[in-house]
Amino acid sequence: MNALTRSNVVIRGQGQRPMVFAHGFGCDQNMWRFVAPAFEASHRVVLFDHVGCGQSDLSAFDEQRHARIEGWAQDVVDILEAADLHDAVFVGHSVSATIGLLASNAAPGRIGALAMLCPSPRYLNDPPDYVGGFERSDIDALLDMVENNMLGWANFLAPLAMGADSAPELVDELKASFCAIDPYITRRFAAATFLGDNRDDVPRLAVPALVVEMAQDAIAPPSVGQWLRERLPRARFEQLAGSGHCPHMTHPAETTELLRRFVGAGG
């Protein structure tokens, strides 16, 4: 199967250097709509949906391949190869920061710079030295919550998202457009994301990196940022004042500016 079709790859913009935007767990490429357009004048902007998200091909989900984050990273390598991208700036949010890290290590030359928004190489605590922020019971509760919300997320969340009186076509369109996620795959994506451990891959990163953090982030706490600072001495770390986990949605202007500086600096 063509990786471009599989992952609903969208390529826009007039520039030469490719910029790949990878959404995190729980949403789709629509997440980038407040940031990515700013780079269309200077870059080839590449957007895509992870399998199970947005308009991706759900049948491409493979129980074995996608049981680990490495499988999702392989999907990204497939995209880079299918679109024949070289020296791309890869902007990955949350788990996709880790996915970009793995793809960069796996396919040298394809990714020339890595921007990581709110990354965490391991969400689970690993006492005594590593505080990821999550206990195993938190993750189990999260997986249950994903499953419970299957009832909501896929089926009856959307109808009221536009108001109860909306025409069904509009509802379907909305459902297909914003953060559409397949519940079955999402539960497995969540397990791969929140139970994974990619700390060993971090020091192997060989390209310039930017790490954007939020001052208060319940999902990627400051302890994770500190851990990363020690392992990525040459990376640039930027912290945005405020709370949250999605700077590209809550602080789009600042995020765009940080990315612009990173790209402009030859990152």
Q: Which residues are catalytic?
A: 94, 217, 245
> Tell me, what amino acid is at 177?
S
Closest CA to 266 of 112, 45, 157: 112
In the bound complex, what is the minimum distance in angstroms from residue 30's beta carbon to another protein?
6
In the bound complex, what is the minimum distance in angstroms from residue 134's beta carbon to another protein?
7
In the bound complex, what is the minimum distance in angstroms from residue 177's beta carbon to another protein?
5
Residue 128: count other Cβ atoms within 10 Å of its Cβ: 6
DSSP state of 204: G
**Nearer Cβ to another protein (64/233):** 64
Closest CA to 167 of 155, 177, 159: 159
For residue 46, the SS3 value is strand
- Residue ranges in 183-202 that form contacts with another protein under rule CB under 8 A: 184, 194
From first CA to last CA, the distance across the chain in angstroms is 33
For residue 180, the SS3 value is coil
- Can you tell me which of 2, 5, 81, 218 binds another protein, judged by CB under 8 A? 218
Angle, alpha carbons 158-53-72 (nearest 5°): 160
- Can you tell me which of 15, 138, 223, 254 binds another protein, judged by CB under 8 A? 138
Q: What is the 3-state secondary structure (H, E, C) of 24-39?
A: CCCCCHHHHHHCHHHH
- Can you tell me which of 152, 215, 229, 261 binds another protein, judged by CB under 8 A? 152
Burial class (CB in 10 A: 0-12, 13-18, 19+), 63: exposed
Q: Does 257 bind another protein (CB under 8 A)?
A: no
Q: E strand or H helix at 91, and its extent?
A: strand 88-93
DSSP state of 58: G
- Can you tell me which of 22, 116, 117, 179 binds another protein, judged by CB under 8 A? 179
Q: Does 213 bind another protein (CB under 8 A)?
A: no
CA dihedral of 123, 124, 126, 131, whole degrees rounded to 10: 50
In the bound complex, what is the minimum distance in angstroms from residue 266's beta carbon to another protein?
25
Q: Does 37 bind another protein (CB under 8 A)?
A: yes
- Residue ranges in 102-131 that form contacts with another protein under rule CB under 8 A: none
In the bound complex, what is the minimum distance in angstroms from residue 267's beta carbon to another protein?
23
Binding track over 222-241 against another protein, x by CB under 8 A: --------------------
**CA atoms of 101 and 120, how far apart (whole Å):** 11
Q: Does 28 bind another protein (CB under 8 A)?
A: yes
- Can you tell me which of 5, 81, 176, 200 binds another protein, judged by CB under 8 A? 176
Q: Which residues contact 194 (CB under 8 A, 6 or more apart)?
A: 123, 124, 134, 139, 142, 143
**Nearer Cβ to another protein (89/219):** 219
Q: Footprint of another protein on this chain (CB under 8 A)? A: 8, 10, 24-31, 33-34, 36-37, 40, 47, 49, 54-55, 58-59, 94, 133-134, 138-139, 141-142, 144-149, 151-154, 156-157, 159-163, 173-174, 176-179, 181-182, 184, 194, 216, 218-219, 242-246, 249-252
